[in-house]
Copies of this chain bind each other. A is one copy, B any other.
Amino acid sequence: MSAVAIVGAGYMGSAMAWPLADRGHEVRLVGTHLDEEIIASCKSSGWHPKLKRRLPGGVSPFSIAELERGLDGVDLIVQGVSSAGVAWAAETLGPRLDGHIPLLAITKGLAHDSGGSLQILPDHFDSLLPARARGRVPLAAVGGPCIAGELAGRRQTCVVFAGRDAALLERLAGMLHTDYYHIWTSTDLAGVEACAALKNAYVLGIGLATGMLEAVGGPDEAGACMFNLAAALFAEAAWEMARLVGLLGGDPALVPGLPGVGDMFVTAQGGRTLTIGALLGRGLGIEEALHELAGVTLESVDAIRVVNRALPRMEQDGRLREDELPLMRYLGEIVAGRAGRIPLEAFFGGQRSSEA
């Protein structure tokens, strides 16, 4: 039995308390300054208002003011903040990391390194640590399809723990797996992390079809929807994801698996990422769409912007052609406020027949 601190009491961070508690670990759920109401509710009644469940036995809530006590003597930290909170997490946790306590991150996203190239989030987090901890914290990350509410409901879930240290991954998987939380491991950290971030970007694109159907008044008189278009967007997303995973140094063979199409499939079943895509597909401008979803973390929009900003450099280096990644570029245009037609004819390498 170990002591584990989860830092960040949002959906996914909190949901990790279930397999941890079910395995008998002492779990400390530490909220950030954004989670004060959640922690107050957990303290008063054990009720997690976002997950709409009582915390399992063996989980103790801590407010951010109690961080010291929450981290005292822990064997593992689960880093459960959103991508917007990574800098905060590095600053807050950094001085308390000694190179021995491993950190398992559930955050999905991509960042830029100092030269403007794409950087996976664990490396970005590491670069933000204080000098004495940098490069010394044993890091791992979670990928694969996992809706937090289902994990907390103990529904069957298959995920991937990724990191560069295979022994650490085995140790972490051994600590967390249950009869409903099935864990595979991968030392392709770059590939798994790229998939996790890119699926958010691309599911926004798949959501466009939903909005375009709404814009024409829904199904036609014979019931025809726009699933063919959604499926073409899904396929191009998988195609481009394989290319981008390769560019980030990962193995494109991850895409037909849990971290790639598995995670993209589950994300396309509903939720805020699909919703913003639907709003944009309906014809709303980016500012209107963001306004409708005010207060919601939109890692999809961030990921699209971060990837698009890094493309010119890849072209200059000769690693990417200008006609590649047409869907990602189109998504970049949309979130920059410039609408237009989905460039279907450029999909799949543009090998479409165009004869009249």
| Interface set of A (CB-CB < 8 Å, partner B) | 51-53, 144-147, 149-153, 155-158, 169-170, 173-174, 177, 182-185, 220-232, 234-235, 238-239, 241-242, 252-253, 255-258, 260-263, 265-266, 268-269, 342, 344-345, 347-348, 351-356
Copies in the complex: 2
13 more A-B residue pairs beyond the given contacts A51-B222, A147-B228, A228-B266, with a C-beta to C-beta distance below 8 A: A144-B235, A150-B224, A155-B225, A156-B226, A158-B229, A169-B353, A173-B353, A182-B352, A184-B351, A230-B269, A231-B266, A238-B260, A256-B261
The interface residues of chain B lying within 8 Å CB-to-CB of A224 are 147, 149-150, 152-153, 155
CB distance from A321 to the nearest CB of B (A): 18
Give Cα distance in the complex from A229 to B262, angstroms.
10
Q: Chain B contacts of A220 at CB under 8 A?
A: 153
5 contacts across the A-B interface (CB closer than 8 A): A145-B231, A156-B344, A174-B356, A231-B269, A238-B257
Q: Which B residue's beta carbon lies closest to that of A269?
A: B227
Residues of chain B within 8 A (CB-CB) of A234 are: 261-262, 265
Known: A234-B265, A344-B158, A347-B158. A147 touches B227 (CB 8 A): yes
Whole-angstrom distance from the CB of A246 to the nearest CB of chain B? 12
Chain B positions within 8 Å of A265 at CB level: 230-231, 234-235, 265, 268
Which residues of B have CB within 8 Å of A228?
A: 145-147, 150-151, 155-158, 266
Chain B residues within an 8 Å CB radius of A235 = 144-145, 158, 256-258, 260-262, 265
A226 CA to B149 CA in the complex, in Å? 10
Q: Which residue of B lies closest to A173 (CB)?
A: B353
**Considering the chains assembled together, what is the distance between the CA atoms of A71 and B151 in angstroms?**
58
* Given A156-B344, A225-B150, A261 and B232 contact (CB-CB distance below 8 Å): no
Could you tell me the distance between the alpha carbons of A271 and B153 in the complex, rounded to whole angstroms?
Answer: 28
Cα distance A232–B68 in the bound complex, in angstroms: 38
Q: Which residues of B contact A227 (CB under 8 A)?
A: 145, 147, 150, 266, 269
> Bound state CA distance, A225 and B223, in angstroms?
26
- Distance in angstroms from A207 CB to nearest chain B CB is 14
> Contacts A235-B262, A257-B238 hold; do A52 and B223 have CB atoms under 8 A apart?
yes
In the complex, which residues of chain B have a beta carbon less than 8 angstroms from the beta carbon of A158? 228-229, 232, 235, 344, 347-348
Task: Output the nearest chain B residue to A160 by Cβ-Cβ distance.
Answer: B348
CB distance from A289 to the nearest CB of B (A): 21
Residue of B nearest to A353 (CB): B173
Q: Is the CB of B348 within 8 A of A145?
A: no
- Contact A230–B170 (Cβ < 8 Å): no
Do residues B149 and A232 form an inter-chain contact, with CB atoms below 8 A? no
CB distance from A237 to the nearest CB of B (A): 9
Minimum CB–CB distance for A143 against chain B, Å: 11
Do B184 and A352 touch across chains, with their CB atoms under 8 A apart?
yes
A353: shortest Cβ distance to chain B, in Å? 3
Instruction: Give Cα A157–Cα B230 distance, bound, in whole angstroms.
Output: 9
A-B interface, 6 closest residue pairs, ranked by CB to CB distance from nearest = A235-B262, A153-B224, A173-B353, A145-B231, A174-B355, A231-B266
In the complex, A239 Cα to B257 Cα: how many Å? Answer: 6
Nearest CB on B from A262, distance (A): 3
